[in-house]
């Protein structure tokens, strides 16, 4: 867990962590792409795993995660869009995953699933789909390390950002109450250079980077990732830490 804990510490001290979404990379040269992400300053890698039931798609399997584990030392987080994921958690732990994020509506007993993730030696996160209220994570806040706020419908490509989800980030921060300085808030879904600063000001500390920010662009993954971070730092300026922290100051 040292990889994840080191990344989390950075999120409390410097500009937000950047988590490139592996599903958006060039699958024909995935190993090289991951190396470019690492050289470009990625803090961790984000994997979407979809079972075709929770969301109408199939994305990323264990074999890819296992293969890429030998390519990089970056922490791996897995966003599981999977119904009743308990039965496969052990395989992800064995594959070298540091953090698993589950949807509460996909688990018959979310607390038990979170505890199983932790018992397997991984960190645990809870994902909030657009229709799930901001306070849904509050009852589990003492068990989790991260809340993932989805700003699009999970597992469906070609969507636009749902604008109402940006203030929801701040609502999640407030719902976490005294745990808000420990539990990181991550955002996934059309996190562009235009909207990212506002997300951070609402309390986001991890940003999932996809086609709207770094992939499929002329500069290449490494340069685009570096440029995204530079633009974000410049845009935030003296507004870091975010006003959403309600006067608590920089997280410690």
Residue among 43, 145, 188, 231 flagged as catalytic: 188
E strands, the chain, are: 17-20, 45-51, 58-59, 76-81, 99-102, 123-128, 146-150, 184-188, 206-209
Is the previous residue joined to 241 through a cis bond, with omega within 30 degrees of 0?
yes
Residue among 43, 48, 51, 145 flagged as catalytic: 48
185: tokens are 């808030």
188 has catalytic annotation:
yes
Q: 43: closest CA among 72, 17, 13, 12?
A: 17
CB 83 within 8 A of CB 51: yes
| 131 torsion bin: left (phi>0), alpha (psi -120 to 50), beta (else) | alpha
Which residues belong to the active site?
48, 188
């Amino acid at each position: 867990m040292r990889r994840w804990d080191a990344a989390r510490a950075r999120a409390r001290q410097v500009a937000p962590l950047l988590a490139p979404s592996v599903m958006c990379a060039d699958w024909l040269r995935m190993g090289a792409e991951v190396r470019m992400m690492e050289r470009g300053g990625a803090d961790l890698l984000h994997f979407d795993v979809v079972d075709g039931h929770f969301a109408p798609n199939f994305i990323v399997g264990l074999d890819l995660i296992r293969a890429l584990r030998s390519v990089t030392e970056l922490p791996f987080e897995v966003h599981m869009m999977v119904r009743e994921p308990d039965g496969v958690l052990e395989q992800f732990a064995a594959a070298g995953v540091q953090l698993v994020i589950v949807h509460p509506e996909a688990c018959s007993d979310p607390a038990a699933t979170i505890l199983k993730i932790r018992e397997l030696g991984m960190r645990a996160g809870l994902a909030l789909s657009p229709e799930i209220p901001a306070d849904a994570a509050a009852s589990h806040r003492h068990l989790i390390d991260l809340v993932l706020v989805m700003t699009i419908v999970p597992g469906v490509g070609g969507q636009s950002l749902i604008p109402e989800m940006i203030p929801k980030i701040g609502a999640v921060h407030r719902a976490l109450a005294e745990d808000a300085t420990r539990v990181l808030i991550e955002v996934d879904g059309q996190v562009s250079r235009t909207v990212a600063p506002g997300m951070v000001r609402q309390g986001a500390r991890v940003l999932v980077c996809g086609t709207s920010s770094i992939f499929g662009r002329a500069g290449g993954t490494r340069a685009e990732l570096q440029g995204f971070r530079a633009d974000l730092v410049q845009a935030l300026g003296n507004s870091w830490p975010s006003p959403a922290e309600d006067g608590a100051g920089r997280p410690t």
